[in-house]
Amino acid sequence: MKNTAASTVSNDLELIEANRQFYDPLWTDARLVSPERFNTWPLVSSLISQPQTRLEIAPGLRPRLPIEGTHFVDISAPAVAKLQAHGANAMQGLVSALPFEDGIFDLVCAFDIVEHVDDDDGALSELSRVAAPGATLLLSVPLHPSQWTAFDEFVGHCRRYEPQSLVAKLAKYGFEIEQSAVYGMQPKSSRLLDLGMWFLTHRRERALWWYNNVFMPMGVRFQKKLTLVAGMIDAEGVDEVLLVCRKINIASKA
């Protein structure tokens, strides 16, 4: 038990340090982008109801759930401070140790986070713990280990998921996939990614300025509409997937 606890602490410290080096500078110089501007908004709008308790984990300054009425948890102090400045109920925290009671959220959102965590089982267990029976989980992850690139390592990914293994892992923690869609804003050009990584490594201030003021606004403007299908999509050639999951009672299903 001691070794497990020590390993968890070590992994959390590594995640905090990786975030401090990469994401803290990004959020320090970035502006908050309202959730209405993302292609996820029609989906989110269809899921919002009153009364409802909502949680979004690791939104940075790109929240997908409404600022008002949502609890936000992020590891980054600059991101939390800016969210709070916009009236958000935001606090620092880790997905592996969420500061909430069991089963209190009706809608949980975790985009681009579990692939960054060394112990993704611990993260999914926490997502399941805080989700109420029948709750909706919005989750996005990169797919196919064979498509691993230097960019994955650069931004702090620990893994990519095989589609069927992902389905089984979610089921282990009580989540059933109801809908899914192709997701993500990563450029397809490997040369463009290589150039971006070079500038982030050697010309960080200039690279962040271009990202925040040019590439991110363009990416938001030219997003493709989400096309949701029932269950898990045919994931061949899909780089990243968005999943709409339902929290089920594992015991009753068994």
Confirm if 110 and 128 have CB atoms less than 8 A apart: no
- Whole-number pLDDT of residue 254: 44
* Percentage of the residues of the chain whose pLDDT score is greater than 90: 64
Please give the average per-residue pLDDT across 152-166, as a whole number. 90
Confirm if 90 and 74 have CB atoms less than 8 A apart: yes
- Whole-number pLDDT of residue 25: 77
pLDDT at 54 over 60: yes
Strand partners of residue 131:
105
Please give the average per-residue pLDDT across 166-183, as a whole number. 97
**Rounded-to-integer distance, Cα 139 and Cα 54, Å:** 14
pLDDT at 90 over 80: yes
What are 216-225's pLDDT values in tens digits?
Answer: 666 767 678 9
Give the pLDDT band of residue 79 (cuts 50, 70, 90). very high
Give the pLDDT band of residue 153 (cuts 50, 70, 90). confident
Please give the average per-residue pLDDT across 202-229, as a whole number. 72
The rounded mean pLDDT for the chain is 85
> What's the CA angle centered on 107, arms 103 and 111, to 5 degrees?
115
Please, how many CA atoms are within 13 Å of residue 122, restricted to the half-sphere of its CB?
16
The model carries a pTM of 0.83
Query: Strands 131-142 and 175-182: what pairing?
Result: unpaired
Give the pLDDT band of residue 2 (cuts 50, 70, 90). very low
**Rounded-to-integer distance, Cα 184 and Cα 143, Å:** 11
Confirm if 74 and 30 have CB atoms less than 8 A apart: no
Please give the average per-residue pLDDT across 223-241, as a whole number. 93
What are 25-34's pLDDT values in tens digits?
Answer: 778 878 899 9
pLDDT at 197 over 60: no
For the chain, domain boundaries: 2-184+228-253
- Whole-number pLDDT of residue 193: 59
Please give the average per-residue pLDDT across 15-19, as a whole number. 64
What are 160-173's pLDDT values in tens digits?
Answer: 999 999 999 999 99
Please name which of 58, 159, 152 lies closest in space to residue 108, comparing C-alpha atoms: 58
Domain 2-184+228-253, what fold?
Rossmann fold (3.40.50)
Please give the average per-residue pLDDT across 100-106, as a whole number. 97
The total number of residues shown for the chain amounts to 254
**Rounded-to-integer distance, Cα 133 and Cα 104, Å:** 9
Please name which of 106, 66, 105 lies closest in space to residue 86, comparing C-alpha atoms: 66
User: Encoding tokens for residue 201?
Assistant: 């490594």
**Rounded-to-integer distance, Cα 98 and Cα 107, Å:** 15
